[in-house]
Amino acid sequence: MKYIKKSAERKFLVITPLRKGDVVSDITLDTIQRNSLPFEWIEYQGTGNPYKNTHSALLTYSREKKVPEYVIKIDNDIEAEDGMLDKMYDILVNAKPNVAYTYCSFEFKGAVNAKFPAAPFNSTKLCMSNSISSMSMLKLDALNNIKGFVTDDKYFRLLDWALWLKFLEFGYVGQPTMNTSFIAHSGPNSVSARSNEDYKEKFNRIQQDFVKPILERINQSR
């Protein structure tokens, strides 16, 4: 674990998981620090998938000091609007108890090109597909209540979707931060650039292991 930014008055923790040999891009270093609130930022290089590395980073950090109430995973290729993290923090501080995370609009540029505008949370739509980025700020208490991140490699590529569905299983929802956004610069080795066959395989696993139990429980309660 390496500190990118330290602050004794930290309001939230930023974690950047890295593959061995990867570095945080200059544009990410620049834009993520364009926030007014004090926060700490760590990077963690590991051999696992991004969520395994994020989990390991969180554990390592917690051995040194108390983890702030809010945590966000930021990849190493993100170009954020000024004040993005400040705005997300403000949403969570004022959110209802059942809101576990906040998300915003984002856009892929590079090997993948696509836009995902933030919309009001809709559990039905979430069960059909995911348009919520892994770059969403989380309430630590809610994350602990669901026993942490989904880290199983069988869902790799859609681990963020699995996490939002896991929150939903426990009665939590998300809330958008509508007035900010970021760009994810995707290279040819980006997980988002993998084949459609890979996507379909992971999609079917998510449907079977997360969506089906949620829908069955909803039908039973009617």
Q: Which domains does the chain have, with CATH numbers?
A: 2-221 (3.90.550.10)
Contact 82, 94 (CB under 8 A): no
**Mean pLDDT on 169-188:** 93
Residue type, 178: M
26-70 per-position pLDDT tens digit:
999 999 999 999 999 999 999 999 999 999 999 999 999 999 999
Q: CA 101, CA 180: separation in Å to the nearest integer?
A: 15
What's the mean pLDDT in 77-94? 98
Measured distance CA(77)–CA(151) in Å, rounded: 21
pLDDT band at 72 (very low <50, low <70, confident <90, very high): very high
Q: Please, what is the average pLDDT of the chain?
A: 94
Q: What pTM does this model have? A: 0.94
pLDDT band at 176 (very low <50, low <70, confident <90, very high): very high
Give the number of other CB atoms < 10 A from CB of residue 8: 7
**Which pLDDT score is estimated for 189?**
60
Lowest pLDDT segment from 145-149, 160-164, 183-187, 192-196 = 192-196
The pLDDT value given to residue 107: 95
In this predicted structure, the answer to whether residue 168 has a pLDDT above a threshold of 70 is: yes
> What is the structure's pLDDT at 221?
67
Using CA atoms, how far apart are residues 215 and 212, in angstroms rounded to an integer?
Answer: 5
| The pLDDT of residue 192 | 54
Contact by Cβ (8 Å): 83, 180? yes
Q: Calculate the CA dihedral of residues 14, 17, 20, 22 and round it to 10 degrees.
A: -60
Res 217: pLDDT: 82
Q: How many degrees, rounded to 5, is the angle at CA 190 between CA 189 and CA 193? A: 95
Helices assigned H by DSSP within the chain: 26-32, 50-64, 84-93, 123-128, 140-145, 159-169, 196-206, 212-221
